Structure 1
Amino acid sequence: MNLSLKKSKVFIIGVAIIVIVTLVFFLFNQGKDAGEAVEEYYSHLVKKDYKKMYAMLTKGSLARTSQKVFETRYENIYDGIEAKNMKVKINEINDDVVNCTISMDTIAGKVSYDNKITVKNDEIVFNEKMLFDGIEGENKVRVLTDNASRGKILDRNDKELATIGEAYSVGLVRGKLNGEGDYQAIADLLDMGVDKIKKIMSASWIKDDSFVPLKEIAKDDDGKLLADQLLAIKGVKLNTVYVRYYPYGEVTSHLTGYLQQVNAEDLEKHKNEGYSETSLIGRSGIEAAYEKDLKGIDGKKIIITDKDGKEIKIIANKRVKDGKDIKLTIDIDLQKDLYNEYQNDKSASVAMNPKTGEILALVSTPSFSSNDFILGFNSEQWENLNNDALKPLTNRFKATYIPGSSMKPITGAIGLDAKKIEPNKDLGALDKWQKDSSWGNYYVTTLHAPTPNNLKNAIIYSDNVYFARSAVEIGKDELTSGYDKLKISKKIPFELSLNLSQYLNKESKFDDQKLADSGYGQGELLINPVQLASIYSSFVNEGDIFQPYLIIDQKPKSWIKSVFSKSTVNIIKEALIGVISDSNGTGHAIYHNDIELAGKTGTAELKSSQSDTNGTELGWFTVMTTNSDTPILITTMVEDVKDRGGSGYVVEHMKKPLGNYLY
């Protein structure tokens, strides 16, 4: 064979091999490229990059669909169903057809469906199922919401403190209005501006027969009167709507809290928790503390409808889950009695079962109505509420106050356990006292210096000097150790947030003068009413303190075990009984001859110096049963009692709430 023939054969064989390898390579990579193209397409969908998705499609498959329409459809569907965690799984590739499964999490649950996608020349042939399962022609994707009912807040006897109530939705029907001629009259009745009404009525969706809501108003007697005035205007229409309702209004508002429309911060904080721009959220009290339980979970259903809006297919369905009812330990009748007695005062009241820690009442006065937050304020109403000198928005049972003489039995108990107080020792009655001349002109004074000047009489007569002297004798280490054992300055384990009590400012140090003042409840002591009530419960619990709680299905839980010895408790309890039973006792006005009561009054001075005559006073009174079948302890603090009887004012107003509860 000649050389040229050999070269021809080699050349032909080489070309053949190249062709075969190229063909194999092409066929192999055709399927791989198709799958990758589909994966790339859906990766752009995950990133919401609709522009790049559109660029990957064959122009013929989208000849009648502009890029803008394409992007808008994708955005509306996938934002509407809140798609996330989107994945595409390539199941099989046949020639240029990719069999795949598309899955995602949505507002109504997981969605998964199969599709066949054709890839030609590295471009994807669009089919409507790529847009979403069930889409063809003029079909649309819709999300339906079944709103969850918010759980009720109940008292211990199932009386509703927060529930569902009715209100009027006031709206306008444009086609029946006298133009804009009556806008001013409507605005005046609804306390809203004419410009706001005009803005609402300018919305593009409004037709002549549309009901356009403006505001919700109460369906009480005043609301019905207002409704009659509004209905006299042509074009005004009222619909009944269901709203959050607080039957006891001001009586429970600081306890239950209230709802408000979510803001941008709420939406960010509670992202993917089912809130929208129109949602309401618990803003304070039980409504806020148990928002997650009370809210419930809205039902969501993703459906495909035809061009007329008729349902033709259900894609996903998450059933509604109504909110959970929250049942409190509160006795609303006692809550109401305490509120009524002190409603015109700046006060805080805490009632508890001292044997369990159950909170029976939690009152702050003056108050506001949670219902007003549901129906809304105009700017003038909101300004008046915020600028009210009595500060009705201030939650006083959350705050801390100077305890005054309420602290004396606690000082006595710390001193007894520290072996620094001899209960029967007569210290000698003194109207005023100072440790030594280093105090200069500063003296501790008292209104009552009993004889003999022992622990029991000092508590019954509320002798400042006795407890100032005792505190100095107890000393800084033992006194602060006692405070620490009572967890003063520590967080109180409670369903609602309470301010921290303290026995000393952070920047301060105890000297003998501060020690003396602390002994009778002045100095830098600040006590939360819930904590003070809890401490007093130890005197009828053999020295144990139960954790205060508000939710009735909880079980009593020990908080501080053996905070005082049993012998100390018995000595202090006997003195506290004397405060009520002894005719000279500061709480004798509430004495009952058929029920043994123990208690302590307290008057705390708020003044800039010892010589200040313009300062004000806080009045305290704690009263409790010692061996009743109806155990109860009530602590009340009232501000500004100077020249109104001091703590005696609080005692007098305690008679009715306590009597109603016990009998």
Structure 2
Amino acid sequence: MPWGEFKDTAAERRLFQRRVTVMLLFVFLLLAGLVARMYQLQVVEHDIYTTLSDKNRVQVQSVPPPRGLVYDRNHVLLAENRPVFSVTLVPERVGGIDETLEQLVQILDVSEEDLERFQRRLREPRRPFQEIPLRYDLTEDEIARLAVHRHELPGVEVEAELVRYYPHSELTAHALGFVGRINREELQRIDPVNYAGTNYIGKSGVERFYEEQLHGKVGYQHVETNARGRTLRVLEQENPVPGEDIELHLDLRLQAKAHELLDGRRGAIVAIEPETGGLLALASVPGFDANKFVTGISVPDYRALSTSINKPLFNRALRGQYPPGSTLKPMLAIAALDSGAVTKDHTIWDPGYFQLNSKGRRYRDWKRGGHGWVDLTHAMAQSCDVYFYEAAVEMGVDTMHSYLSRFGFGEDAALDVSGALSGLLPSQDWKRAVRNQPWYPGDSVNMGIGQGFMLATPLQLATATSLIASRGKWVEPRLLKGVEGGELPEGFLPDETHKPLKLEDPDDWEYIIDAMAEVMHGSRGTARASGRGAPYRMAGKTGTAQVFSLAEDEKYDAEEVKERLRDHAMFVGFAPVDNPQIAVAVIVENGGGGSSTAAPVARAMFDAWLLELAAPEDSSLISKTDAGSEIL
């Protein structure tokens, strides 16, 4: 059989050509699809994938602003920022949290408390890719050890941040307050944009009240990172706006003097500049180290503070509510004169007790035998209770409530003091609502000497005393004196709801002030020992607040009473009389008598401000009339 019958060369060639054509066409189509896809990726969707790529390579990081500084009136730094190195973890970048923590515990000194705090913050709501600190204030040796193992720890960084620091912490803790880490509740109310990257916020005091001014405005930076998320370089940056520096009326020297005078005791001292309302001193003793709260106080340290019988965390100056005792008498004397309940010539006989009727209860005078015949001046100088018992009954609760509210009692009358309580200014409506009882005349008797239901804070007592010193001119107490290079916050002007306290006879101011001067300089004044030898004339009023009640005929014996149940020693006053530069309220808890304990403290505050701390040009503020004068 011929070979051609078995092999058709032409047909095989055509078949091969068709197959090649199909393969070429298939390859061409594949190439065309690949080119089209490349065109789509490289040209059409270029911007999209560039952005996605940059998100892996370039990140936008917030830059927290430096917190504003706080100065006292003499430009002494009270609150600053110091750099602290801490180790942080970004959970989204950490391969395994537990394994990473185990490695870090072997490298660093990480306590159980640090781990518990980290786990707690890990469970709390937070911003995506936000660092969670594990340890603060790393040493150079710890930073070096961590750097050696850095390649093994993705998502772990050593961060440098500015942390609040209080160089005079215990002196200023209650006045300035402190900052702390932002918690869950604060995270819900703050501006998430402006606080991006910020870990701390004002918790109390000045730090909380002026948070908006002190915080500043957040900045941003575009940084290039590697595959592990570590920053390689900064591509673009918008600098943050630092917080504003503020200056306070507070004088650190006078604040230190107040703490020195109360050292070893429990109490508070508030000093106000009557002309401006500036708080020169706001001391509550004992104090505490506010720096421990900034990055997180340890459990043992907090337990020691919170369980201490002396309550160092309690701000007595703003939140301590005490019966004002006889320190309320100057304000009640103004009310009695202006309302017509008594006159300047009104005289009473004090047998040592007061009765609403011949068979009623005897309300005792502090002097068992009584003071005899006394007018208002002598009643003030000798702190005659019976005179004020009668005046209170004559006025009635409504009149007393009306006048005392104008002195700032029963409200938080301060302008920028965070956390102050309003005390208690009782009234008929209050007693009916709270006790479901009517107001009895005996309640007015007790209120006449600052006892009974009446409660006031040291700040309120200082405010009321400052109002007397300024002869009725109302200026709200304030800490802020000025803003460095800026304007005072909006609404910082005096509160229009507090009008000047105008009396029918303006001379009543001078009459009561002279009576208060008798307390300090008169031959029978209760605080004459503290006023003796002063080169200026001062006005004041001593007070003693009972901690527990005595039976009708029971006699108080401080020696037999436990220390914590003894009377509180109190004093209010101002100096100099004719040109007041400082008004002071002092309370020494369980200190006993106001004349023996609190008045000498106030005299030391007067001397410190007028004689020791006054600038040479201020010496003229002590007038010749005041200098060396002493009523005999």
- By how many angstroms is 1:353 displaced? 1.0
Q: Check whether the contact 2:66–2:162 (CA below 8 A) recurs between aligned residues.
A: no
Letter in 2 for 1:342: L
Q: 1:360 to 1:628 in 2, by over 3 A?
A: farther
Q: Match for 1:463 among 359, 378, 384?
A: 384
Q: 1:504 to 1:306 in 2, by over 3 A?
A: closer
Q: Match for 1:625 among 568, 575, 598?
A: 575
TM-score (norm. length: structure 2): 0.72
Alignment of 1:414-429 (within 5 A): 414-429=335-350
Alignment of 1:493-512 (within 5 A): 493-497=414-418, 498-504=420-426, 506-508=430-432, 509-512=438-441
Letter in 2 for 1:127: E
CA RMSD of aligned residues (A): 4.1
Is 1:561 matched up with 2:561?
no
User: Aligned residue for 2:442?
Assistant: 513
User: Aligned residue for 1:246?
Assistant: 166
Q: Match for 1:433 among 348, 354, 370?
A: 354
- By how many angstroms is 1:507 displaced? 3.1
Q: Match for 2:253 among 326, 333, 340?
A: 333
Letter in 2 for 1:561: P
Is 1:381 matched up with 2:329?
no
Alignment of 1:10-409 (within 5 A): 127-130=45-48, 134-135=51-52, 140-165=57-82, 192=112, 215-216=135-136, 242-276=162-196, 279-302=199-222, 318-399=238-319, 400-409=321-330
Q: Check whether the contact 2:472–2:500 (CA below 8 A) recurs between aligned residues.
A: yes
User: Aligned residue for 2:540?
Assistant: 599
Is 1:638 matched up with 2:560?
no
- By how many angstroms is 1:288 displaced? 0.5
- By how many angstroms is 1:549 displaced? 1.6
Distance 2:502 2:582 in 1: 20
Q: Check whether the contact 2:180–2:295 (CA below 8 A) recurs between aligned residues.
A: no
Distance 2:506 2:548 in 1: 37
Greater strand share, 1 or 2?
Answer: 1
Letter in 2 for 1:639: E
TM-score (norm. length: structure 1): 0.69
Q: 1:429 to 1:513 in 2, by over 3 A?
A: same
- By how many angstroms is 1:389 displaced? 0.7
Q: 1:634 to 1:198 in 2, by over 3 A?
A: closer
Q: Match for 2:515 among 575, 582, 587?
A: 575
Distance 1:271 1:493 in 2: 27
User: Aligned residue for 2:626?
Assistant: none
- By how many angstroms is 1:512 displaced? 0.8
Q: Check whether the contact 2:69–2:244 (CA below 8 A) recurs between aligned residues.
A: yes
Secondary structure, in 3 states, of the residue corresponding to 1:391? coil
Distance 2:466 2:270 in 1: 12
Q: 1:213 to 1:427 in 2, by over 3 A?
A: closer
Distance 1:487 1:516 in 2: 21
Q: 1:389 to 1:139 in 2, by over 3 A?
A: closer
Q: 1:311 to 1:167 in 2, by over 3 A?
A: closer
Give aligned-pair identity as a percent. 26
Distance 1:429 1:127 in 2: 100
Is 1:443 matched up with 2:363?
yes
- By how many angstroms is 1:281 displaced? 0.7
Q: 1:151 to 1:486 in 2, by over 3 A?
A: same
Deviations 1:259-295 (A, max 9, x none): 1111111111114243358611100000111111111
Secondary structure, in 3 states, of the residue corresponding to 2:297? coil
User: Aligned residue for 2:16?
Assistant: none
Secondary structure, in 3 states, of the residue corresponding to 2:78? strand
Letter in 2 for 1:514: D
Secondary structure, in 3 states, of the residue corresponding to 1:532? helix
Q: Which runs of 5+ in 2 are unaligned?
A: 1-32, 90-100, 121-131, 149-157, 433-437, 483-487, 612-632
Q: Match for 2:566 among 606, 611, 616?
A: 616
Deviations 1:609-640 (A, max 9, x none): 53586543221111211356671111111211
User: Aligned residue for 1:84?
Assistant: none
Q: Check whether the contact 1:534–1:545 (CA below 8 A) recurs between aligned residues.
A: no
Letter in 1 for 2:541: K
Equivalenced residues, count: 514
Q: Check whether the contact 1:362–1:397 (CA below 8 A) recurs between aligned residues.
A: yes
Alignment of 1:462-501 (within 5 A): 462-497=383-418, 498-501=420-423
Letter in 2 for 1:452: W
Q: Which runs of 5+ in 1 are unaligned?
A: 1-58, 65-115, 119-124, 173-178, 201-211, 219-226
Q: Check whether the contact 1:191–1:378 (CA below 8 A) recurs between aligned residues.
A: no
Letter in 2 for 1:531: Q
Deviations 1:181-230 (A, max 9, x none): 9969975xx76459769999xxxxxxxxxxx9853359xxxxxxxx79x8
Distance 2:115 2:239 in 1: 41
Distance 1:417 1:349 in 2: 30
Deviations 1:36-67 (A, max 9, x none): xxxxxxxxxxxxxxxxxxxxxxx999999xxx
Secondary structure, in 3 states, of the residue corresponding to 1:143? strand
Secondary structure, in 3 states, of the residue corresponding to 1:428? strand
